[in-house]
Amino acid sequence: MKRILVILSILMVISSISCAQKGYRIEVQIEGITDTTLLLGYHLGEKKFVADTAKINNKGIAVFEGDSLLKGGMYIVIIPNKSYFDILVSSNQHFKVNTTIDNQIDNLEFTNSPENSAFAKYQKFMGEKQKAMTDLRNEMQGVAQKSDEEKKFMDRMNELDKQVKTYWDQVIDENKGTFLASIIKSLKPIEIPEFKIPENTANADSLKWVLSYQYNQKHYLDNIDLADDRLMRTPFFQSRLDFYFDKVLLPIPDSINYYADLVIEKTQSNKMMFQYITSHLLTKYQASNIMGMDAVFVHIAEKYYLSGRANWLSNDIIEKIKNRVNELKPNLVGSIAPNVTMAGLDNKTHSLHAIKAKATIVYFWEPGCSHCKKITPILLEKYNQYKDKGLAVFAVYTQGDMPKWKEYVETNKLTWLNVWDPYRNTDYHKLYDIYSTPVIFILDANKKIIAKRIGIESLDSILDPLLK
């Protein structure tokens, strides 16, 4: 009986601890302000969202609390004067924060949160080093380049950089397994190895650069745990992700598709991170202004959304994605342009693929469009400049007013091939995704799409190599 009572008492203690730790309770005391409201927000991508609010009492204390745990991440305590400071929210969500209104970062103290105490120490250290680096840069103003004095400044900067990297390693080692360690590691740039280039190698420096670049492509995100969804609630995660896809990788659809798949596959063990990165990349390449990147949108849409792997969207939205893929897929850069046969002003029918030319411009336009009025004369000049070198223009009039079209063509001496499809029997507007004018496509001799939706100012740089 006594043993049973002991076991029951242990179970009651465990139960009480479990109940006490249920949900979150973050007590914040800020000396210097009373009788106002604090906000508890969090980072997500480039935006900030509010998770909770709490009233400060006459002692300067506010308590954020809730019955369920907060999602882990870097949170911000926002003060009515628009200033804020960061705290880490991870597994332990019962702790106290103390600071002052006049110097929030330097006076940050935590109770019952060793991880946040280490984070506060880290913030102070980085603030000191950043100030020291700024002071050095200010001192360097006016110093002659490649002088002994500049070299001394650079040595001091390198020493500061070395101190920061050493401190990062120290924080990671002392806080193994914590969210703080994951944050610091994710901020560390990867170490590119020294490649041994055989002696007497031609262009050794160029080869070394290429090998370093290729290594950086493959390993740039190695220090970021893509299965830790807490990282997506930090102010730097999305910028690191975007820098990788915008600056590290070449803007070539096949290359970006390959690395996008590698990144997404690393999130498979974490549903939230999988959803975040897949959604971000889909949106990113749907809205990209870089020519050809719609192929990345199509790839991600088909592989993850239309396949059913990304199953968090409604059927209506999935249907819209599917429709957009169907609009883009026939006219992706690198694919053979859809063949269309249309009537011309000469009362004959003309097939796009029947045109024999080194390069063909497919021009969708109409005389009443204000932008077309600016582009058409310039395009005519380019046509006259390049037609003897093998350029053809397949100019598609997108409206239905024959007299107006004919008058404009004759008045402006548009001697290229002028065609129309007033009833859109060819579905050219769907095949080429034409929802406004003017639109320019450039095809090679095999009618492969080389460029699309380009500005008139880009024609020379694309046509010159095609027509050589």
Give mean pLDDT, residues 281-302.
96
In a shared domain, residues 67 and 95: yes
Residues 53 and 77 placed together within one structural domain of the fold: yes
Residues forming a β-bridge with 123: none
**Residues contacting residue 59 through CB under 8 Å, at least 6 positions apart:** 29, 34
Same domain, 243 and 325: yes
pLDDT in tens, 116-155: 999 999 999 999 999 999 998 888 888 888 888 888 889 8
- 435's CB contacts (< 8 A; 6+ apart) are 429
pLDDT at residue 82 above 80? no
Exposure string of 115-129, with b = 16+ CB inside 10 Å and e = fewer, is: bbbbbbebeebeeee
* Same domain, residue pair 102 and 25: yes
Domain-embedded: residue 184:
no
Which of 307, 331, 355 corresponds to the end of one domain?
331
The full 3-state SS of the chain, as one line of letters, equals: CHHHHHHHHHHHHHHHHHHHCCCEEEEEEEECCCCCEEEEEEEECCEEEEEEEEECCCCCEEEEEECCCCCCEEEEEECCCCCEEEEEECCCCEEEEEEECCCCCCCCEEECCHHHHHHHHHHHHHHHHHHHHHHHHHHHCCCCCCCHHHHHHHHHHHHHHHHHHHHHHHHHHHCCCCHHHHHHHHHCCCCCCCCCCCCCCCCHHHHHHHHHHHHHHHHCCCCCCCCCHHHHHCCCHHHHHHHHHHHHCCCCHHHHHHHHHHHHHCCCCCHHHHHHHHHHHHHHHHCCCCCCCHHHHHHHHHHHHCCCCCCCCCHHHHHHHHHHHHHHHHHCCCCECCCCEEEECCCCEEEHHHCCCCEEEEEEECCCCHHHHHHHHHHHHHHHHHHHHCEEEEEEECCCCHHHHHHHHHHCCCCCEEEECCCCCCCHHHHCCCCCCCEEEEECCCCEEEEECCCHHHHHHHHHHHHC
Judge whether 316 and 394 are in contact, CB under 8 Å: no
Q: Are 230 and 186 in contact (CB under 8 A)?
A: no
- Give me the pLDDT at residue 33, please: 85
The per-residue pLDDT for 11 is 37
What pLDDT sits at residue 20? 47
pLDDT, position 468: 84
In whole angstroms, how far apart are CA 75 and each of 26, 71, 88, 271? 11, 10, 6, 21
- The residue assigned the tokens 């859109």 is 424
Total count of domains within the chain = 4
Task: State whether 247 and 291 are in the same domain.
Answer: yes
pLDDT at 87: 97
Residues 147-171 as b or e (16 or more Cβ within 10 Å = b): eeeeeeeeeeeeeeeeebeebbeeb
Mean pLDDT of the chain: 92
Amino acid 331: pLDDT: 97
Distance CA 290, CA 256 (A): 13
Q: What CATH code is carried by the domain that includes residue 90?
A: 2.60.40.10
Taking the C-alpha atoms of residue 284 and residue 278, their distance in angstroms, rounded to an integer, is 10
In a domain, 271, yes or no: yes
Residue 241 sits in the same domain as residue 324: yes
**Interval 336-347 mean pLDDT:** 96
325 and 414 fall within a common domain: no
Query: Greater confidence, 82 or 434?
Result: 434
**Average pLDDT over every residue of 289-293:** 93
**How far is the first Cα of the chain from the last one, in angstroms, to the nearest whole number?**
98
- Render pLDDT for 261-288 as a digit per residue (tens, 0 to 9): 999 999 999 999 999 999 999 999 999 9
What integer pLDDT is reported at residue 21 of this predicted model? Answer: 59
Using 50, 70 and 90 to split pLDDT, how confident is the model at 337?
Answer: very high
CA–CA separation, 357 and 267 (whole Å): 48
Say yes or no: 129 and 240 in one domain: no
Question: Does residue 161 sit in the same domain as residue 258?
Answer: no
Residue 211 lies in a domain: no
Q: Which amino acid is at 372?
A: C
Q: What is the pLDDT of residue 35?
A: 83
CATH code for the domain of 364: 3.40.30.10
Tens-place pLDDT, residues 151-209? 888 989 999 999 999 999 999 999 999 999 999 999 999 999 998 888 888 888 899 99
Q: Please report the pLDDT score of residue 12 as a whole number.
A: 40
Is residue 336 in a domain? no
The pTM assigned to this predicted structure is 0.86
pLDDT, tens digit, for every residue of 229-264? 999 999 999 999 999 999 999 999 999 999 999 999
Mean pLDDT confidence for 342-352: 95
Report yes or no on 202 lying in a domain: no
Whether the CA torsion 356, 360, 364, 368 is positive or negative: it is negative
Check residues 193 and 35 and name the one with the higher pLDDT.
193
Of the residues 92, 112, 132, the one at which a domain ends: 112
What integer pLDDT is reported at residue 288 of this predicted model? 93
Which residues, including other chains, have CB under 8 Å from residue 448's CB and lie 6 or more apart? 334, 335, 336, 337
CA 414-419-423 angle, 5° bins: 140
Phi, psi (deg, nearest 5) at residue 140? -75, -15
Phi, psi dihedrals of residue 38, rounded to the nearest 5°: -105, 150
Band of pLDDT at residue 5, cut at 50, 70 and 90: very low
pLDDT at 81 over 80: no
State whether 355 and 453 are in the same domain.
yes
Q: Given the DSSP bridges, would you call strands 449-452 and 391-397 parallel, antiparallel or unpaired?
A: unpaired
- Residue 139: its pLDDT value, please? 87
Domain-terminating residue out of 331, 356, 376? 331
Instruction: List, for residues 354-376, the tens digit of each pLDDT value.
Output: 999 999 999 999 999 999 999 99
Mean pLDDT value of segment 300-304: 98
Is there a single domain that holds both residue 303 and residue 352? Answer: no
Beta-bridge mates of residue 418: 395
Q: Which domain holds residue 386?
A: 341-467
What's the mean pLDDT in 381-395? Answer: 97
pLDDT of residue 241: 97
Burial class (CB in 10 A: 0-12, 13-18, 19+), 250: exposed
Do 435 and 369 fall into the same domain?
A: yes
Cβ-contact 109, 124 below 8 angstroms: no
Neighbours of 461 (CB within 10 A): 10
